[in-house]
Amino acid sequence: MDNTHEFVEKLHDKQAKDEANKRRQGKGNPAGQLPSKPHGTQK
């Protein structure tokens, strides 16, 4: 029983982090994406 409870808590924590990362990265909303860094253009 205790093991199942830990698993569910860990799963909910992971889902919350995944959702926050999805919002932060702008998935599904191209205007919300972070700008990419131009690596090869600055010399």
Task: Say if residue 24's pLDDT is above 60.
Answer: yes
The model carries a pTM of 0.52
Q: Which residues are within 8 A (CB) of 25 and not within 5 positions of it... i.e. 6 or more apart? A: 33, 34
Q: Distance (Å, rounded) from C-alpha 22 to C-alpha 4?
A: 27
Q: Quote the pLDDT of residue 16.
A: 92
Q: Which of 10-14, 15-19, 38-42 has the lowest mean pLDDT?
A: 38-42
36 or 6: which leads in pLDDT:
6
Chain Cα centroid distance, residue 16: 9
Q: What is the pLDDT of residue 1?
A: 57
| Residue 12: pLDDT over 90 | yes
